[in-house]
Structure 1
């Protein structure tokens, strides 16, 4: 691969940033679930808020990978 083929990479810097945001959102969701003080995590943090962050962490990278740009 020559230096001129730099634009043929599958992910650009914006896509990589969005992927990292998704990964950090998943990590934050799992951490939020551990903060629940109810037995077995059956409180608001363990059953509602944490899983929402984890799902966002899954859907944000999927959206970024399949999002078609007008200039591509």
Structure 2
């Protein structure tokens, strides 16, 4: 029996699907990751005992939370 499909390399590359996100999505994902790391870094800067100062218990977690929300927005944003 003869194989009727012609799987040349040029046809295979034309049939591949595009990336799931656009360039702007990937850029925004990097910004979100930077916000998350910045929030955790700010938490380490607190000089109070057990991190119970303003940086460790308020500002750092708020910035990290904003970074996570930003990531969710970026994932669900259309191209």
Name the counterpart of 2:8.
none
Q: TM-score under structure 1 normalisation? A: 0.82
Residue 36 (structure 1) aligned with residue 46 (structure 2): yes
In the aligned structure 2, how far is the partner of 1:60 from the partner of 1:32? 18
Aligned length: 68
For 2:35, which of 11, 16, 25 is the aligned residue? 25
Could you say which residue in structure 2 is the equivalent of 1:51?
Answer: 61
Identify the structure with the greater helix proportion. Answer: 1
Secondary structure of the 1:8 match is coil
In the other structure, the counterpart of 1:11 is: 21
How far, CA to CA, are the matches of 1:52 and 1:63 in structure 2?
16
CA distance in 2, matches of 1:39, 1:26: 23
CA distance in 2 between counterparts of 1:14 and 1:20 reads 10
Q: Give the gaps of 5 or more residues in structure 1.
A: none
The structure with more radius of gyration: 2
